[in-house]
Amino acid sequence: MIHIAIDGPAGSGKSTIAKKVAEKFNINYLDSGALYRIIGYYIFNENINLEDANGIVNSLGDIDIILSEGKYRLNGKLIDDQIRTYNSGKLASRVAKIPEVRKKVNYILKSISSKESTVIDGRDIGTVVLPKAEVKIYLTASAKERANRRYKELIEKGEKVNFEDVYTEIKKRDEADTNRTIAPLKPAEDAKIIDTTGKKIEEVLSEIYTIVESEL
């Protein structure tokens, strides 16, 4: 079995890269951000106040998330596009500050990945979720470039956003994810840091493939 942790800030290219790595080595892929997004989505749709941490914690037992055929299901229903919006990223970041929410997400990630080789992308995978992962990658890029990538993605999906708002939001999320007390965004001591500013996906991938191959 091999475990690969890919961490980094919003827009660093983590999920695109992680999916390709999983495909190349024919192993499972888990998107940890999606789990925070699903919980944020549920809380918002149930009209639970986002300021009410107790209310959020009390509702966690009603949230059943499973992975089937590479897709997440929330209480039995497929959930994907609904959580890929600009707003759900913001909601995710709010609920991700609550320790019990993190415990639930980590439990799901650990129980799936304990059974098979897995690539997981997120913020705290190399530091908290898979501290013993054979491969740890920390992807980063300038805030402007990351905002640009996110902006293009959202526009392609038909969302009405403007660049300045996306840029401001990326900087706010960096700030919130880096400065929170629980599982802050930071590279693991043994992570390989890759700055993707100005790099093509293929270049980054070939660097990562070489690292993974050396562990097989």
DSSP string, 71-100: EEEETTEE-SGGGSSHHHHHHHHHHTTSHH
Element (H, E) at 103: helix 99-113
Rounded least distance, CB 159 to ligand C5P, Å: 14
Q: Which is nearer to ligand C5P, 26 or 40 (CB)?
A: 40
Q: Strand ranges (DSSP E) for the chain? A: 3-7, 28-31, 65-68, 71-74, 77-78, 118-122, 135-140, 192-195
Kindly write out the interface string for residues 161-190 of this chain, putting x where it contacts ligand C5P by CB under 6 A and - elsewhere.
Answer: ------------x---x-------------
Neighbours of 189 (CB within 10 A): 8
136 binds ligand C5P (CB under 6 A): no
Whether residue 14 is annotated as binding a ligand: the answer is yes
* Adjacent-strand bridge partners of 4: 119, 135
Question: How many residues sit in the footprint of ligand C5P (CB under 6 A)?
Answer: 15
Decide if 42 contacts 132 (C-beta within 8 A).
no
Residue 114's Cβ-count burial label (10 Å; 0-12, 13-18, 19+) is exposed
32 binds ligand C5P (CB under 6 A): yes
Kindly write out the interface string for residues 83-122 of this chain, putting x where it contacts ligand C5P by CB under 6 A and - elsewhere.
Answer: ------x--xx--x-------------------------x
Rounded least distance, CB 214 to ligand C5P, Å: 25
Q: Which is nearer to ligand C5P, 22 or 33 (CB)?
A: 33
Residue ranges of the binding site for ATP: 8-16
Residues at the interface with ligand C5P (CB under 6 A): 10, 32-33, 36-37, 89, 92-93, 96, 122-125, 173, 177
